[in-house]
Structure 1
Amino acid sequence: MSENNAKKKMSFGEAWQKFGTIGIFVLLLVILAVIRPSSVFSASSVPQILKQSSVNILLALGEFFAILIAGIDLSVGSVAALTGLFTAKMMIVGVPVPLAILAGILIGTGFGFINGMLVNKTGLHPFIITLGTQSIFRGITLVLSNSRSVYGFPVSFTSLMSGSVVGIPIPVIIALIAAVILWFVTTKCKVGRNIYALGGNIDAAWYSGINVNLHRLIVFMISGTCAGLAGVVLLGRVGAAEPAAGTGFETYAIAASIIGGTSFMGGKGKIPGVVVGGLIIGLINYAMTALTLPSTYQQIVMGALIIIAVTIDTVVGRKS
């Protein structure tokens, strides 16, 4: 009996990996329920939280893959802004809305391709490459927009992005569809297993016959695609293509991924956890706005959450 009990006893590391993300989410809900429930838990606030979380979830899904291979993508916020700008300009000149949306997403894929190619060809760490492209993409956004907001696109687009299906906002449905597709890729497809192997041990992956450069390229293309989709959703939510849109959103994406259980050491993480992580970030942002706290405090909270989550992940990793 004692041996069975010992086997059944769950370590802190196992408990954190299984329930850590949900635990943070529940704890946050409890705290907000005590402090000011009327500002957060109402018929109007819940859809708004979900809409705000949809952008975080989409960016975090792309960031998840970059972190999964022990890398990072710091350009996701800039890619979202630039793809949103391109989508807005295409709609303004008369490109049909569905075609403009598709083109915007594919442009995001193209930016991801550029990131992946630069990482492969230079051999530099993705941190360096995406730090540079983050600045480049943001600069292009400012130049093309002349540092001014772009608006005036078709009402059909704003109506689509502000609509809902059985009470669920369209942006949330888009984020969930993307999450389901990527969950299928990571759990049911060979490419997903190879990406996990690449993050677990790149040398072992290479010796086992996995094309490292190809899969690294695929990872950044997925990240770019998710950022492009986030840019389109953000465009619909804001109602204009803002030159500064997505500024600092890479921090939200990283925080959502790490809080969602993705390991900075690579090779570990799951899509459902990232979705919950995106909801946590969206809930924090909305709650701090509802509590009329300055935006600077939001950045302090995000930074603290990243440090705490990575510290716990590191400690758990060493013990296991």
Structure 2
Amino acid sequence: MTAQSNVRSSGTATQQTTGRRFTVNIRDAGTLLGLILIFAVFSFLNPVFLTGANLLNILQQSSINACIALGMTFVIISGGIDLSVGPTAAISAVVGATMMAAGVPIPLALLGALLTGMACGVFSGTLVAVAGLQPFIVTLGGLSLFRALSLIVTGGNPIFGIPQEFRAVINGDLFGVPTPVVIVAIIALVLWIVLNRSPLGEYILAVGGNQEAARIAGVPVVRTKITVYVLSGGLASIAAMILIGRLGAADPTMGNLWELDAIAAAAIGGASLMGGKGSVVGTLLGAIILGALTNGLTLMNVQAFYQLLATGIIILVAMLIDRATRGAA
């Protein structure tokens, strides 16, 4: 009798999982349709928009936000939020640039920046998962703390001396595709596999869906929560390295409002701020939508505050869609 019950439970779980994936795919398709619509409108208004050079420019401009948003998506799926990704990127950039300027080999400098970002994630994740503090409050405190540290270390001055060979790689391309786009594509592929084909992905979805039920089922809740914040911090440091490679300097004030753009991309892509739902593909599409929107409005000489207005409207529409789909479920 117990075996039969387990079989029935397994079948029910499989049906629920299949339904969840089907829902996510539908939402991804809706996000893609929105992207196509935006491309159609801007290509009609400005023929330059659909040129190959401009499309590559959109992808390159979207790469940094996409990198940040992918980490944010995992945090959101787990039921949390990370408001400190911008300052985390800044302090990672400061560490990496300082090491490069001091003559440290580039791979070691990149590792130092990556470990800095991950350490910020450990700090936030531990306070959330172990101390039981609210993610919003913890990461809001981290926002101020990490920003202050980057300003104190540098005295508020940018750091120059980024090696030309590093800049050449970041500003180069692979078969005509800009290096930042290739980097983010590889990261996205790995994260898609993690979320959809690994136990960690199942743990993250379970914790975000129902933390107490996940704990009873044997899911390592504390370790899972810390992991997503470490991932978010690490991806913020990678985004920072991409940016300083493009600019040739590390500014301690960089990353301002990156967290809002990342949350927007994740929300547009179908991630629910209630936790338990999100998509790597959807987040990528969300980041490209924001990049295309900014690019198209810039080509039309629309002032920046109207671009913010358009972005805000898109985010609100995405939230309404999420509420409607949850109600329908």
CA distance in 1, matches of 2:24, 2:156: 49
Give the aligned residue type for 1:192: G
CA-to-aligned-CA distance 1:177-209 (integer Å, 9 cap, x gap) = 111111111112111111111111111101101
Q: Retained in 2: the 8 A contact 1:260–1:277?
A: yes
Residues 17, 285 of structure 1: CA spacing in aligned structure 2 closer, same or farther, 3 A cutoff? same
Q: Check if 1:51 corresponds to 2:31.
A: no
> Equivalent residues in 2 for 1:48-127 (5 A)?
48-127=57-136
Would the aligned equivalents of 2:28 and 2:281 in 1 still touch at CA under 8 Å?
Answer: no
User: How high is the sequence identity, in percent, across the aligned residues?
Assistant: 37
- The aligned residue for residue 18 of structure 2 is none
Q: 1:15 to 1:236 in 2, by over 3 A?
A: closer
- 1:44 aligns to what SS in structure 2? helix
TM-superposition CA deviations, 1:204-262 (whole Å, max 9, x none): 10110112111100110111111111111111122211222111111110111111111
1:281 maps to: 290
Which residue of 2 is the match for residue 223 of structure 1? 232
Please say if residues 251 and 302 of structure 1, whose CA atoms lie closer than 8 Å, have aligned partners that are also in contact.
no
SS of match in other structure, 2:142: helix
Q: Secondary structure at the match of 1:122?
A: coil
Determine whether 1:269 maps to 2:278.
Answer: yes
What TM-score do the two structures reach when normalised by structure 2?
0.89
The runs of at least 4 consecutive aligned structure 1 residues that moved more than 3 Å come to 13-16
**C-alpha displacement of 1:123:** 1.5
Specify the alignment match of 2:187 in structure 1.
Answer: 178
Moved more, 256-265 or 155-164: 256-265
- TM-score, with length taken from structure 1: 0.91
Q: 1:34 aligns with which of 28, 31, 44?
A: 44
- Secondary structure of 2:253's aligned partner: coil
Q: Which residue of 2 aligns with 1:163?
A: 172
Greater mean alpha carbon deviation, residues 157-166 or residues 274-283: 274-283
- Which deviates more from structure 2 when the two are superposed, residues 275-284 or residues 297-306? 297-306
CA distance in 2, matches of 1:32, 1:108: 37
Query: For residue 31 of structure 2, what is the aligned residue in structure 1?
Result: 21
Structure 2 segments unaligned to the other structure (5+ residues): 1-22
Counterpart in the other structure of 1:9? none
The alignment's C-alpha RMSD in Å is: 1.6
Say whether residues 1:246 and 2:277 are aligned partners: no
- Consecutive unaligned residues in structure 1, runs of 5 or more: 1-12
Deviation at 1:298, TM superposition (A): 2.6
| Alignment check: 8 A CA contact 1:252 1:302 kept | no
1:256 maps to what in 2? 265
Structure 1 residues 294, 146: closer, same or farther in 2, change over 3 A? farther
- Return closer, same or farther for 1:302/1:15 CA change in 2, 3 Å cut-off: same
Structure 1 residue 63: deviation in Å?
A: 0.3
- Counterparts of 1:142-221 in structure 2, within 5 Å, are 142-221=151-230
Q: Work out which of the residue numbers 292, 295, 307 in structure 1 matches 2:316.
A: 307
**Structure-1 separation of matches of 2:40 and 2:177:** 23
Aligned residues: 307
